[in-house]
């Protein structure tokens, strides 16, 4: 077959996402905090955008400007000689303090309470804490250098994640020196730090308590598997010990910390800010979008007029047009985002009206397609809107995804999986801790209430709620 060059015409359809459309989709799925950050970034980059101040703030600033100008005129007037001669220092401070201005050396009379954030301080990290202890020990430079490398390989839970061979290779040191260094680190505070696994971590803490060569140490060395299954009778038979002694040893082991460095992890507290408020009124329910903290934007009039100037170069005009189109599209995207969130909330309120009237136990099965068909939008759009967003009502703060759940067959029609999870949790909370229910028993109890559910589904819901199995929930009385 001969090779040749030719031109062909071909018609095809494909979806092309313009940068503006990509920005609109991105803004739609952003939660409130990230949306505020994105808007502030656009404010800093686009000169056509400016933040709209509240009317009250603007009026106060105007009044303050007028007062300052009037005060300035009065200050320029010459004072009578009699007043200058009779003016005392006390009168000066009284007059200056009466106008609310603080000179730095007297109290204006208005004290604002400092925020709690000002009392926060940076907590010491595990690395700093261990380094501080090492500096207090009389160690030679070789051991100190190995210890610094070893401490750098301790994770946030306090476990050493590098083997002895790896440390020896990194430090180019003898394996015996590495072992001695690890032993020194394991003697530091917090007890259990520098361990390679859970067994070693618990043994370090047991020896720190002076319980070496006891039943507690033997159980940790040889019976962690039985301990996990709460098979205390087998442990008692193995060591020919009374069950009371075994339970006392188990109580001591339970008091040990499997993550000795947990107090040194500095995780920031992330507070949930609801995107929508749903208030109950005499006429029904009112939906209010939470725009607190989100800058209100508008087009800057100065740069808008600048577009019509004729003495600009082509590059300047092109830059201004691009910035203007970007600013205009951002404002339209934000407006469309608010309208979409409002419509989705309105549809959820329509489908889950019984939840808002009576509480979480009355959530109905609902999927994204139902809401999409209700408001004539695509299902992917509903998925983006409900991602990482929260709704606040009289029953609390809930994720948008909370209202979407699968259906299970019940005696009065379909039952939401969310309601079934609450029923499983209630059954487990009310069970006898000495004889906890198995997953099959819970499934049978739900079937008695005409809720058809399999054992593996009960196990799935239980794991999603982070509830241990019945063998781990079992309690043994001494």
pLDDT at 267: 61
261-275 residue pLDDT tens: 888 866 666 778 899
- The pLDDT of residue 115 is 55
Confidence category of residue 476, pLDDT binned at 50, 70, 90: low
Query: Which of helix, strand or coil describes residue 406?
Result: coil
CATH number of the domain that residue 420 is part of: 1.10.10.60
Q: What are phi and psi of 184, to 5 degrees?
A: -65, -45
pLDDT of the residue at 116: 53
pLDDT score for 195:
93
Q: Are 329 and 391 members of one domain?
A: yes
Q: Are residues 281 and 393 in the same domain?
A: yes
Residues 367 and 355 in one domain: yes
Residue 216 CA to residue 246 CA, distance in Å, equals 8
Contacts of residue 92, Cβ cutoff 8 Å, sequence gap at least 6: none
Residues 286 and 397 occupy one common structural domain: yes
328 and 215 share one domain = no
Q: Which of these three, 351, 372, 403, is where a domain ends?
A: 403
Domain boundary (264, 286, 310) is at 264
Q: Check: CB of residue 196 under 8 Å from CB of residue 217.
A: no
Please indicate, yes or no, if residue 194 is contained in any of the structural domains.
yes
366, containing H or E segment? none
Closest by CA to 151, choosing from 141, 142, 161, is 161
Give 99 or 197, the one with higher predicted confidence: 197
Q: Is residue 95 part of a domain?
A: no
Q: Report the pLDDT value the prediction gives residue 67, as an integer from 0 to 100.
A: 52
Mean pLDDT of the chain: 82
Q: Which position has the higher pLDDT, 269 or 52?
A: 52
Give per-residue pLDDT as tens, 199-246: 999 999 999 999 888 999 999 999 988 888 888 888 999 999 998 999
pLDDT in tens, 289-338: 998 888 888 998 888 888 888 788 888 888 888 989 888 888 999 999 99
User: Is residue 320 one of the residues assigned to a domain?
Assistant: yes
Q: Which domain holds residue 322?
A: 276-403
Asked whether residue 352 falls in the same domain as residue 459, the answer is no
Residue 86 placed within a domain: no
pLDDT of res. 415: 81
The rounded distance, in Å, linking the Cα atoms of 16 and 327 is 21
Q: What percent of the chain has pLDDT above 70?
A: 81
Give the pLDDT of residue 372. 92
Q: What is the pLDDT of residues 78-114, one digit of tens each?
A: 445 444 445 455 554 455 444 444 444 444 444 555 5
Checking if the pLDDT of 176 tops 90, the result is yes
Each residue of 327-353: pLDDT tens digit?
Answer: 888 899 999 999 999 999 999 999 999
Q: How far apart are CA 218 and CA 216, in angstroms?
A: 6
301 close to 329: Cβ distance less than 8 angstroms: no
Domain match, 260 and 281 both: no
| 158 located within any domain | yes
Q: At what angle do helices 19-29 and 32-45 cross, to 10 degrees?
A: 140
The stretch 348-362 carries a mean pLDDT of 90
Q: Is residue 457 part of a domain?
A: yes
Asked whether residue 394 falls in the same domain as residue 411, the answer is no
* CA 62 – CA 460 distance, rounded (Å): 62
Whether 173 is covered by a domain: the verdict is yes
pLDDT of 94 reads: 53
Q: Residue 16 pLDDT > 70, yes or no? A: no
Q: Are 130 and 260 within one domain? A: yes
CA–CA distance, 437 with 422 (Å, rounded to integer): 16
Q: What pLDDT does 102 receive?
A: 46
Question: Are 370 and 425 members of one domain?
Answer: no
Asked if pLDDT for residue 192 goes beyond 50, the answer is yes
- Structurally, the chain folds into a number of domains equal to 3
Q: Which residues, at least 6 apart from 306, have a Cβ–Cβ distance to it below 8 Å?
A: 312, 320
Both tokens assigned to 410: 């019940």
Question: Which of 264, 292, 318 represents a domain boundary (last residue)?
Answer: 264
Distance, CA of 407 to CA of 179 (rounded, Å): 58
Provide long-range contacts, Cβ within 8 A and 24+ apart, for 64-69.
Answer: none
Q: Are residues 243 and 336 in the same domain?
A: no
Are both 350 and 440 inside the same structural domain? no
Residue 36: which H helix or E strand, with range? helix 32-45
Is a pLDDT exceeding 80 seen at residue 9? Answer: yes
This prediction has a pTM of 0.63
**Is 40 part of any domain?**
no
**C-alpha–C-alpha distance, residues 144 and 114, integer Å:** 44
């Amino acid at each position: 077959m001969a090779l040749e060059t030719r031109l062909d015409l071909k018609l095809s359809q494909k979806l092309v996402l313009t940068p503006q459309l990509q920005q609109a989709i991105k803004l739609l799925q952003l939660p409130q905090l990230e949306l505020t950050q994105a808007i502030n970034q656009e404010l800093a980059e686009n000169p056509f955008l400016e933040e709209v101040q509240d009317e009250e703030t603007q009026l106060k600033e105007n009044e303050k400007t007028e007062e300052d100008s009037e005060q300035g005129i009065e200050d320029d007037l010459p004072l009578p000689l009699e007043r200058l001669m009779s003016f005392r220092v006390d009168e000066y401070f009284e007059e200056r303090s009466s106008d609310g201005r603080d000179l730095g050396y007297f109290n204006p009379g208005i004290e604002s309470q400092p925020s709690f954030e000002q009392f926060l301080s940076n907590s010491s990290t595990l690395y700093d804490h261990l380094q501080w202890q090492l500096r207090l020990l009389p160690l030679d430079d070789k051991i100190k250098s190995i210890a610094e490398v070893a401490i750098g390989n301790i994770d946030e839970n306090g476990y050493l994640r590098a083997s002895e061979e790896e440390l020896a290779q990194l430090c180019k040191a003898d394996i015996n020196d590495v072992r001695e260094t690890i032993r020194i680190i394991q003697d530091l505070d917090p007890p259990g730090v520098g361990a390679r696994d859970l067994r070693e971590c618990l043994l370090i803490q047991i020896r720190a308590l002076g319980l070496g060569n006891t039943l507690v140490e033997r159980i940790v060395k040889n019976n962690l598997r039985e301990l996990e299954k709460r098979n205390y009778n087998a442990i008692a038979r193995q060591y020919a010990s009374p069950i009371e002694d075994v339970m006392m040893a188990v109580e001591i082991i339970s008091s040990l910390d499997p993550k000795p460095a947990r107090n040194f992890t500095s995780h920031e507290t992330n507070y949930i800010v609801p995107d929508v408020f749903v208030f109950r009124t005499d006429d029904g329910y009112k939906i209010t979008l939470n725009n607190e903290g989100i800058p209100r934007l508008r087009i800057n009039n100065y740069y808008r007029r600048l577009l019509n100037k004729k003495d600009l170069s082509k590059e300047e005009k092109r830059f201004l047009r691009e910035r203007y189109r970007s600013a205009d599209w951002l404002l339209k995207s934000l407006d469309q985002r608010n309208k979409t969130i409002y419509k989705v909330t309105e549809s959820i309120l329509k489908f889950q009206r019984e939840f808002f009237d009576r509480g979480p136990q009355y959530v109905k099965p609902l999927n994204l397609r139902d809401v999409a068909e209700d408001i004539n939008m695509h299902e992917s759009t509903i998925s983006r809107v409900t991602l990482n967003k929260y709704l606040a009502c009289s029953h609390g703060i809930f994720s948008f995804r909370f209202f979407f759940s699968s259906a299970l067959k019940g005696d009065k029609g379909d039952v939401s999986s969310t309601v079934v999870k609450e029923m499983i949790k209630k059954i487990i909370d009310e069970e006898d801790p000495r004889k906890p229910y198995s997953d099959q028993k819970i499934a049978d109890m739900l079937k008695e209430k005409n809720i058809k559910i399999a054992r593996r589904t009960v196990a799935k819901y239980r794991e999603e709620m982070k509830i241990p199995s019945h063998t781990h929930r079992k309690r043994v009385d001494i």
